[in-house]
Amino acid sequence: MGWGEFFALASPMAWALAVVMFRRSGESMLPFSLNLLKNTVALALLVITLIVVTLVTSAPWPQFSSVDLAIMIVSGVLGMAVADTLYLRTLNLVGAGRTGAIGALLSPFVILFSALYLGERLGPAQWVGFVLVMLGILVVTLKRYQTEVSAQELRRGLMIGVAAMILMAFAVVMVKPLLEQGPFLWVITIRMAAGVAAMLLVLTWRRQWGVLLDNYRQPHPWVLTLSACVLGGYLGSVLWLAGYKLIPASEAAIYNESQLIFMILFAWWFLHEPIDLRRALGVCLIILGVMIMLLV
């Protein structure tokens, strides 16, 4: 297993734990407020990391073309500002279980956009691994959820969640060539800054700064929320994009689906949710699919 595969598997571990925390935070904080906080914390940590690495390595300032900057900005706006906000909204509407099932659509969309935009193709073994991973996700998620959701909320959550996956997939595929060629930390920092800037512009345009600040003044589990921002927004994003930098986007997306395994394990560990036969079978299928891809 190379570093690309390692990062692509470590990222869903960090994000799965963050999602559990965000679910608790989302009970008292609006999706837009939570996403802005997550991205702002991540941007601050990325800037600190970039300064430290630049000083230690004495690396020169990068030279980006106007086209490169445009791609990073559009990718940041679509992926960090729009898609993440829609994802957190879906989480609030339909719950973590259904959101996890909708999140499984990210891989097919990444594979589609990678084929159209980058010319990537999966080999026979990768397709076998992909089918097993998708089958494992279906086995785990196709069940009756205990939390009741109205038909209207379910439809809204489904539409919003699918839109989030499409935008997220397109945003990461379009920036992949720059992740490979350009200075990695600069690319992800500029991308994150674009997402934060877009959200601040929306706040100013809609004159909702008062709503945002009032929402932040409400009682929140701040330690849990900020920990999730660091874990998911900073560490998870860096590992996620590092995986996309080092291996084909279509393969990285399939490895990322192991997030469901970690969500089940964390739910068992922290929330004492039982792991029944169905979940165990789904986890085994996902692990088998990932192993097939790692061994080819």
Per-residue pLDDT of the chain (296 residues; tens, 9 = 90+): 788 899 998 998 898 888 777 766 656 788 888 889 999 999 999 999 999 999 998 888 888 999 999 999 999 999 988 998 888 788 777 766 667 667 777 888 888 888 888 888 878 888 888 888 878 877 766 654 445 567 777 788 888 988 998 999 999 999 999 999 879 999 999 999 999 999 999 899 988 899 899 989 988 888 888 999 999 899 999 999 999 999 998 888 888 878 777 877 876 776 676 777 877 888 888 888 888 877 76
Please count the CA atoms within 13 angstroms of the CA of 283 that sit on its side-chain side: 13
In a domain, 58, yes or no: no
Is residue 101 in some structural domain?
yes
3-state secondary structure of 61: coil
Is 282 within the bounds of a domain?
A: yes
The predicted pLDDT at position 60 comes to 85
Q: By three-state DSSP, how is residue 60 classified?
A: coil
Structural domain count, the chain: 1
Residue 86 makes CB contacts below 8 A (sequence gap 6+) with: 160, 161, 163, 164, 167
Range of the domain at 149: 3-52+63-295
Count Cβ atoms below 10 Å from residue 56 Cβ, excluding itself. 8
Residue 57 lies in a domain: no
Residue 274 pLDDT = 74
pLDDT, position 283: 80
pLDDT of residue 96: 62
pLDDT at position 27, please?
65
Q: Does 30 reside within a domain? A: yes
Predicted pLDDT at 231 = 92
- What would the two tokens of residue 218 be? 């409400």
Residue 15 · residue 202 · CB < 8 Å: no
Number of residues assigned to the chain: 296
Whether 158 is covered by a domain: the verdict is: yes
pLDDT for residue 120: 85
| Within a domain: 220 | yes
Q: How far apart are CA 210 and CA 174, in angstroms?
A: 35
User: End-to-end CA distance of the chain, in Å?
Assistant: 10
Specify the 3-state DSSP secondary structure of 271. coil
Cα 99–161–16 angle (5° rounding)? 35
> Do 98 and 86 contact (CB within 8 A), yes or no?
no
